[in-house]
Structure 1
Amino acid sequence: MTFIKITEQPSLYNDLEKKPIFEILAEINQEDQKVALAVQKTLSELEKLVTGIVERMKRGGRLFYIGAGTSGRLGVLDASEIPPTYGMPDTYVIGLIAGGDSALRNPVEAAEDNYDQAWEELLEYKINQNDTLVGIAASGTTPYVIGALRKAREKGILTGAISCNPGSPVAAEAEIKIEPVVGPEYVTGSTRMKSGTAQKLVLNMITTATMIKLGRVKGNKMVNMQLTNQKLVDRGTRMIVDELGLSYEQAKNLLLLHGNVKTAIEIYKNQQK
């Protein structure tokens, strides 16, 4: 069967340059509304993936993201937000992008076409069967991602693939396939748009659900967040006020003493027994 890239199909809209700005914005917004519905159809597979990630992380495993271009940048972004948001060391969720860190800002020619590169990079991290590898590729054809997924699966490592084309070569290499099919892009082939938005939603869901199940959230609050600025100190202080009924100053002193909301609350409660 011939693999058809829906992400490369012609836009549903023509003569974009002739349209008024408001019409362009309204049409982009109209297309964006399809994204969440496409992601909704992947929830069962997402559940399987998150369940596998949580099981492995409880044994000390890690989550690796690999991708090229926009897909790679989104993986690195999601990974980079885990330490400040959930207080996890940066060794638990790791994003790799074809071409290395310089590719975060500038395109690196042909980096995504290197079939062996991602696996070589993963070996430097001593990837093993406690880990999970998620390949991200809007097109579903990126050699950098395909090569690593194939090697990882051969080694018994849990693999997932996120692609916006159904039945893609990338998905064929993964145990769990996440395929939010968002349709043609507003600007033909510009997968940083709907496809990128779908990938961002999926990545948010994966790590948020994982962190919740690992106990990094209490109620609905980020009780393990890093206190890296005044906004976050204030947020943490108000969490302690709500939980313990202390004054703002008492709560702030407690927070700064213990370094995060969860520890501050636990120690205070133990001291009151």
Structure 2
Amino acid sequence: MEIKNLTTEQRNPATMHIDSMSTIDMVKTINQEDQKVAVAVGTQDDKIARAIDEAAKRYSKGGRLIYIGAGTSGRLGVLDAAELVPTYGIKPERAIGLIAGGKGAMYVAVEGAEDSQDLAKRDLKDLKLNKNDIVLGLAASGRTPYVIGGLDYAKAIGALTISIACVKDSKIGHHADIAIEAVVGPEAITGSTRMKAGTAQKMILNMISTGVMIKQEKVYENVMIDVKPTNSKLIDRACRIIHTTTGVSTQKAKDTLKEANNDVGLAIVMLKTNCSLNQAKSLLETKNGNVAEVLNK
């Protein structure tokens, strides 16, 4: 399909006169369009769930979450990868965002980079891609050559391939094991896919990466037990997590977190089982680090 015929490139009848609207009407109109995003993403629930299950299996075997994309899509992948590190305490090499044109393309567009299939293959080769890895290809238009090249190479290696697009029957979907297609409709500003399409991709990535982390036992109840308290905000959050899940005072939570060497899950087990540091460590070892299994025995 030609670019001009893609859903993401069509003019939106509801915003034909957005340039002459009052500011409040402009805001309301954009908000009304944004409300369509969650509905579109909801049509892909089954595929997103499958992506989580399959990705979690690979990740538990040492695989990596590797995001590939160009422009806004590429930046969203880099963002998701970067945020997993402090949020879930994973090593940076376990979640990697690749953007067409390299790191500089995060800030300034690199002309022509997205049109190269070979560039994606080279980028993935540099990472020594293997069959346990998960490659998520993002393209709002569903046709970016950089993404297609990356997905093809990943498939040849035996890695899990997941495509995320905002058009039906996307080209990248034909090159992936799992094709997620949230059709959000024409943008408020024609072709500006950083808007609804970008929001949809971000929502989908949130679900996939969060689901994978939950299945790696990095969440107890609904709190982040592997958060790394590397600054004052995160230390405060870690103490609040311990306080709310155990009922101890904030000071006790702070003291126990320090004793547990900033390991939130370990601190929770110590407090809820009334165990020493070493006893809590032993309990966690018997359950492969699963806090919920230790506390719900």
TM-score when normalising by structure 1: 0.95
Of structures 1 and 2, the one with the larger relative CO (CA 8 A, separation 6+) is 1
Query: In structure 1, what is the equivalent of residue 249 of structure 2?
Result: 247
Match of residue 148, structure 2, among 146, 149, 174 = 146
Amino acid at match of 1:271: S
Aligned to 1:123: 125
Report SS of the residue matched to 1:66: strand
- Give the 3-state SS of the residue equivalent to 1:178 in structure 2: strand
Question: What do residues 190-216 of structure 1 show as CA deviations (whole Å, max 9, x unaligned)?
Answer: 000000000000000000111111100
Quick check: 1:259 aligned with 2:262?
yes
Specify the alignment match of 2:47 in structure 1. Answer: 45
Following superposition, the deviation at residue 267 of structure 1 comes to: 4.3
Cα distance between partner residues in 2 of 1:180 and 1:214: 26
Other-structure match for 2:188: 186
The aligned residue for residue 60 of structure 2 is: 58
SS of 1:91's partner is helix
Distance 2:228 2:97 in 1: 20
Shift of 1:236: 1.3
What is the aligned partner in structure 2 of residue 177 from structure 1?
A: 179
Q: The residue matched to 1:33 in structure 2 has which SS?
A: helix
Letter in 1 for 2:276: Q
Is 2:115 the partner of 1:110? Answer: no
The secondary structure found in structure 2 opposite 1:75 is helix
Distance 2:73 2:115 in 1: 14
Deviation of 1:161 after TM superposition, in Å, equals 0.4
Tell me, in whole angstroms, the C-alpha distance in 2 between the residues paired with 1:41 and 1:115. 30
The CA deviation at 1:241 is 2.3
Aligned to 1:100: 102
1 CA distance for matches of 2:62 and 2:268?
Answer: 26
Distance 2:247 2:172 in 1: 52
Asked if 1 retains the 8 angstrom alpha-carbon contact of 2:40 and 2:184, the reply is yes
For residues 7 and 248 of structure 2, the distance between their equivalents in structure 1, rounded to whole angstroms, comes to: 56
Q: More deviation in 20-29 or 251-260? A: 251-260
- What 5-or-longer segments of structure 1 have no aligned partner? none
Structure 2: gaps spanning 5 or more residues: 280-297
In the TM superposition, what are the counterparts of 1:191-202 in structure 2 within 5 Å?
Answer: 191-202=193-204
Counterparts of 1:22-37 in structure 2 under 5 Å?
22-37=24-39
Structure 1 segments of 4+ aligned residues over 6 angstroms from their partners? none
Give the TM-score, by structure 2 length: 0.88
Q: How many residues get paired? A: 273
2:265 maps to amino acid: K
Q: Which residue of 2 aligns with 1:6?
A: 7
Residue identity opposite 1:77 in structure 2: L
Q: Tell me how large the CA RMSD over aligned residues is.
A: 1.6
Alpha-carbon deviations, 1:37-80, whole Å to 9, x = none? 00000011111111111001111111110000000000000000
- Partner in structure 2 of residue 155 of structure 1: 157
Q: Secondary structure at the match of 2:41?
A: helix
Q: How far apart are residue 2 of structure 1 and its match?
A: 7.1
Give the Å deviation of 1:228: 2.2
| 2:269 aligned partner, one-letter code | E
Amino acid at match of 1:264: A
For residues 40 and 10 of structure 1, what CA distance do their matches in structure 2 show? Answer: 24
CA–CA separation in structure 2 for the residues paired with 1:117 and 1:264: 46
Q: CA deviation at 1:245?
A: 3.6
Partner-residue secondary structure (3-state), 1:81: helix
Structure 2 vs 1, CA of residues 243 and 20 (structure 1 numbering), >3 Å: closer, same or farther? closer
Identity %: 47
- Specify which of 253, 276, 295 is matched with residue 271 of structure 1: 276
1:86-141 deviation line (CA, Å, top 9, x unaligned): 11111111110011111111111111011111111111111111111110000111
